Each structure stands twice: as C-alpha cells, then as structure tokens.
Amino acid sequence: MDLPVRPPLEPMLATAAKAVPAQPAGAPAWLYEPKWDGFRCIVFRDGDEVELGSRNTKPLTRYFPEVVAAVRAELPERCVVDGELFVPAPDGGRLSWELLSQRIHPAASRVAALARDTPAQFVAFDLLALGEEDLTQRPCGERRQALTSALAGCGPVVHVSAATLDTELATRWFSTFEGAGLDGVVAKPLASPYLPGERVMVKVKHRRTADCVVVGYREHKSLPGVGSVLLGLHTGSEVVTVGGASAFTAARRAELLEQLSALRLGEDVREEGEPNRWHARADSSWVPVRQELVCEVEYDQLEGRRFRHSPRFLRWRPDREPASCTLEQLEVPAGYDLADVLSGTR
C-alpha cells in the first residue's frame, strides 16, 4: 500500500466536556459534528487495496467485506479517510450498537452471513490523504472542505458527516440526534492539524443516572474479587437484567466480593449468562444474590431494555427500596430518524 499516510495509524482523540464549547467573539474557532456511536475506523484505499484500521490500529478489514466493496465503489481511488462504522437497526430508524458489536466474529462463514444480514455503513468526518498529498498538517477547516469535495456524490454506504460552525445548531443536534442513536457532539479546533493519538477534540456525551437493584456478580478472571456487578430493574412482573458495572479498583473488587458473598442464594447456586462469542468455552455463569442492595449508576442511553454501554458505579443507595427501582425511571429520548441525520450528510 503506497499512500502518503500509511497504516497503522492512531486516530486523533477527544477529551470529555460537560457542554458544547461556544464560539469566541470574532472568527469561529470550532467545527461541530454529531458524535457517531460506532466503531472508529480509518479507511486506507490504494486502488483495489483497502484496509480498515480500528481505534487501536488493529485491522477491521476481514469483518466488514461489504464496506470494503463500498470503499472501492464510492471513495476516491487513493485516499485515507477517518470516520465511523455503524449498523442501522432493522427498521433503519436508529443506530444499533448490539448489531454492530456482533459483527466482530472469528468464523469466516459467520462474517459473511452478518455482512449480508446486518450490513454496516461508514460515515466520514476527516480526510487525511488524497492522491499523493498528505493532508494531516493542514488545518481542520481546510481538511473539511477537501473532504466534502472529494466525497461529493458518495453513497449509499459511505456518507459524509454533517458539520456546522453554529453553536446553537450543534446544541440542538445534541438533543435531537440522540433519538436516532447518536452519542452527542464533537467539537474540533478549526485551526488544528490532524494529530494522531492526541486528545485535540472535545466530546460532549449524554450522561444520566439510574438506581438499580444488584442481582448478582461475576468473579474476576485474573484478580481476587468481583469482576462485574450485575444490575436489574423491576418491570412489575419481573426483574430484568439491564447491564453490569465493572470499572473498579483492585481494592474495591475485594471489598465487593466480601460484601456480595454474604448475600449469595447458596454456595453452589449459579446462573448461566449469555455465551461469550469470542471464547466459546469461557465460563459465562454468574452468582445470584438476594436482591437487597440498590446502587446508583451513570449511563449514556438504552438499547431496548439494556444499557448500551457499561454503566459506571457511583454510590450505594441505602435509602431506596429495591422494588422502587423500575424501568420507568429511565429517560427515553424522543425518536429521531437516522435517515434524517444522514440526509444532510451527503
């Protein structure tokens, strides 16, 4: 692959912020884009040779053959493009993190079936090279202009992300686009070059809290203590598992194991969890406990009746009754059609 920017390449990253940064007085300093909740992907194309690089620089190419075909059909013959892979839900109305995560599968036959049944798409938001030219040292605003020009007319699989200099519009995107499964807003310094691996951008993500019942735990695979705390919510007739919190210090894991072991339903009682598609022989079982403890967690959004990403444990809530922790407490954003988000991106 003979390109001016070659793999492996770390993508430029972002730091978290609580609000969309405002434009300073005078000339604008920020370019705003929707935050796509998919797999970060840098596309390298040199003629028929295509590589899809992940955030950690490992290739995604074999898992998304339909995207490779679309890159050959829709992108310039020699280019490097930063963007995001996503899979629409079956009704096409929003992003589906669950379907996207299933696309990473070790079996070639399964990869082919998933590419046919749940095809992915690619949304581009930065152009790093075009033809013989390395664009990474050019300012963000110039790269944006080059991106929209080079990818004009792309589709139906490749899209160019919407972007704006209008803070008010970006703030509206933050609220409305969540209904289509997007994750927030990203702000990029207009004058900045592309700096691989550095946190130059600003990201504003949705954050909410919920009070959940602790229904069980899994022990850590390599450290003494709890690996994850399983969380549930009441629906009226049952308690459904909505996810698990797993980000704990080593000391906290040991404390949790001692605390939760005292609530076990029996020494040998275990429940079977969903099998691990990466390691078919891995133990997916978990230990159920008496549903007496309530904790508050921070989460971004729901997918069905589960947290889309792992929530973050905040604190215990001894003042809450487990039966009061219901699905109804969770905020569901107003619906917004993914097609309407993409309609302004080509």
3-state secondary structure 193-235: CCCCCCEEEEEEECCEEEEEEEEEEEECCCCCCEEEEEEEEEC
Looking at the structure, tell me whether residues 25 and 136 fall in a common domain.
yes
Tell me the C-alpha distance between 34 and 192, whole Å.
19
Residue 298 lies in a domain: yes
Looking at the structure, tell me whether residues 219 and 158 fall in a common domain.
no
Kindly report the average pLDDT of the chain as a whole number. 90
Domain around 317: 208-329
Structural domain tally of the chain? 2
Tell me the C-alpha distance between 185 and 173, whole Å.
7
Residue 345 lies in a domain: no
Looking at the structure, tell me whether residues 46 and 194 fall in a common domain.
yes
Q: Which residues of the chain have pLDDT under 50?
A: 275-281, 345-346
Looking at the structure, tell me whether residues 196 and 217 fall in a common domain.
no
Per-residue confidence (pLDDT) for residue 346, from 0 to 100: 38
Looking at the structure, tell me whether residues 284 and 170 fall in a common domain.
no
Per-residue confidence (pLDDT) for residue 340, from 0 to 100: 82
* Residue 35 annotated to the active site: yes
Question: Cα–Cα distances in Å, from 111 out to 39, 104, 274?
Answer: 16, 8, 20
Percentage of residues of the chain with pLDDT beyond 90 = 63
CATH number at 241 reads: 2.40.50.140
Residue 339 lies in a domain: no
Residue 264 lies in a domain: yes
Q: pTM value?
A: 0.77
For the stretch 7-25, pLDDT in tens is 999 999 999 888 999 999 8
Looking at the structure, tell me whether residues 84 and 139 fall in a common domain.
yes
Looking at the structure, tell me whether residues 29 and 177 fall in a common domain.
yes
Residue 85 lies in a domain: yes
Looking at the structure, tell me whether residues 117 and 190 fall in a common domain.
yes
Looking at the structure, tell me whether residues 248 and 182 fall in a common domain.
no
Looking at the structure, tell me whether residues 98 and 161 fall in a common domain.
yes
For the chain, the C-alpha Rg in angstroms (whole number) is 22
Catalytic residue among 35, 58, 188, 221: 35
Tell me the C-alpha distance between 186 and 4, whole Å.
27
Percentage of residues of the chain with pLDDT beyond 70 = 94
Residue 337 lies in a domain: no
Residue 1 lies in a domain: no
Any idea of the CA torsion for 72, 56, 36, 97, to the nearest 10 degrees?
100
CATH number at 197 reads: 3.30.470.30
Per-residue confidence (pLDDT) for residue 303, from 0 to 100: 79
Per-residue confidence (pLDDT) for residue 284, from 0 to 100: 67
Looking at the structure, tell me whether residues 18 and 158 fall in a common domain.
yes
Beta strand pairing status for 158-160 and 226-234? unpaired
